[in-house]
Structure formats: C-alpha cells, structure tokens
Amino acid sequence: MTYQVTNDLLTGNITIDNEHRQLFQAINALLEACAHGKGRNQLAQTMTFLQSYIAQHFAHEEQLQAQTKYPDAVRHKQLHDGYKRVVHEICQELERTGPTVTLVGKVNANVGGWLVTHIKREDVKVAAHIKNSK
C-alpha cells in the first residue's frame, strides 16, 4: 500500500498539501524499499528525514493557525506534539535495536496511518478556517 494525497486528503492550502506530499513520499520510499527487501537499509534515512521534516511542517501549520487565530490551535498542537513523540520514540528504538521488520511495521502503522487520519480529521478543518479567514 502506498500513500497518496487523494482528494479527501487535500486541504485546499497549497503549502500544506505540498508538505503532506513530501511526508508521504518519504514513507512510500520506505515501503518501496521494503517491497524489494531493502527496508532495513532505508529505515534510518526515512526516520531522520521524517523527524526533521515533521518538525518543520508542524511549525508551519502552527504558524498559520496563530496568524489566523485558529480556535482549536492548542489542541491541534497537542496532537502534533504527541506525533513528534511517537516519531522520536521510533528513532530511539531504531538506535537501540537497529532496523527491524517490526520497526518498519510500526512506521507504517504509527507514522503513515496517523498522518492520513490527522489530515482527514484535523488539517482539513485548519485549512477551511485559514481559507475563511481571508
């Protein structure tokens, strides 16, 4: 299964949608590597990228929320912080155990799956608020 920014995942905000595409591309690269028996080699690179890019992306989203006075910004930031913790914990586990098939599965379920759900439930509301505030 690869992740795609389908119509139901589009927020309507070009910047946010492009950043989501970058996140999905990184996860998809890992899944593609797994399909060719090279997932363990790709895992560290993917997690390093995700940890950095997620921080950048969330900071950008939170800045847009602050600029437009998004009413649910505090809760949204808490969701982001929880996700960053999960990614950080996976990175720590990677350092402790090295790349494992189990860890690749965690990335797919806890990183890719969470992102899809978060976009559908939360980011579309943020994007609608930003659009309506203009």
With a cut of 70, list the residues of the chain below it in pLDDT.
Answer: 1
pLDDT of 32: 87
Structure pTM?
0.88
pLDDT value, residue 5: 86
Specify the pLDDT at position 4. 86
Alpha-carbon dihedral angle through residues 88, 93, 96, 97, given to the nearest 10 degrees: -150
- Give the DSSP H/E element, type plus range, for residue 82: helix 73-97
